[in-house]
Amino acid sequence: MTDSEFISKWGNRLNTSIVDRDAYLIRECIGKKVLHFGCTDTPFTQEKLDNGTALHIKLEAVASEIVGVDIDEVALSALGKVCQKSDLHVCDIENPILLDKLSGRNFDVVVCADVIEHLNNPGAMFSNLGQIVQPGGKLIVTTINGLAIKLVLRALFASEAVHPDHVAYYSFATLKHLHERFGFCVENKAFTFLYPFNNRFLTTIQPPFYRLFPNVADGIIVTSIKL
């Protein structure tokens, strides 16, 4: 059975899907006017630029136009040296100044990849997005899955590993509530596996396990439409 056959059979049965985050985002951005929030990968920006895994570069390669926004000026400068056609801005996604910087711009797709878990005020982000995304426009939010089995197992062994800049976790239900509170209608959810284990056996069994139990995978992708 091929991967796509497996996902088709089990994914449909479970009414959800497991996808590769970057591949999913790239597919959604092909030929589109894209706004990418959190476009650097601080503190790993240079490392990802060097090894070719920086998400923004992948999106830039397929988008017709792309604007990148990030709060990290140094990382944004490093990214700017590599980008071909990106319009990059230093700005806080929670700050209303963002609206001035992007005024008059229209986007087909707005991507917030692994940003929300860093924010003190996710409501301000959604409020800004509510004005940036046009009715019918697409918003894609990705984040760590708060109910991921890896987090649960680490809690069991009291060895929770939390990024020093993360201040909250989100599950699909909580993300859906936030989207709806700010006028976005969720049209698709997907789960992703992001991080390999140090152990080769666990890394091998990870993909089939997550295909059977996608809701406890590493990450969540929520795609919504502005009403």
Partner 1 sequence: MTDNKQNDFLLASKCSADVSDFSTDIALNDHKLNFVIRYARDKSVLDIGCVQHNPANYQSKYWQHKALCSVSNDVVGIDLYSDGVVYLQSLGYNVLVANAQDFDLGRIFDVIVAGDIIEHLENFDGFFESCKRHLASNGRLLISTPNPWYWKNFIKAALNSEVSSNPEHTCWLCVRTLRQLAQRHGMDVGEVVFGSRYLSDRLMPMPNGWKHTSFHAELFFT
- Which one, 107 or 170, has the nearer CB to partner 1? 170
- Which one, 14 or 57, has the nearer CB to partner 1? 14
Q: How far apart, in Å, are the Cα atoms of 52 and each of 1, 5, 39, 46, 60? A: 31, 29, 14, 10, 13
Closest approach of Cβ 16 to partner 1, in Å?
7
- Which one, 109 or 115, has the nearer CB to partner 1? 115
Closest approach of Cβ 163 to partner 1, in Å?
9
Binding region for partner 1 (CB under 8 A): 14-16, 120-124, 126, 146-147, 149, 151-152, 155-156, 158, 160, 162, 164-174, 177-178, 180-183, 213-216
Closest approach of Cβ 212 to partner 1, in Å?
9
Q: How far apart, in Å, are the Cα atoms of 164 and each of 6, 130, 205? A: 37, 28, 29
- Which one, 100 or 180, has the nearer CB to partner 1? 180
Closest approach of Cβ 7 to partner 1, in Å?
15
CA angle, corner 60, sides to 224 and 218, nearest 5? Answer: 50
Closest CA to 127 of 187, 90, 178: 178
Phi/psi class of residue 187: alpha, beta or left (left: φ > 0; alpha: ψ in -120 to 50)? alpha
Q: Could you tell me the two tokens for 208? A: 């089939």
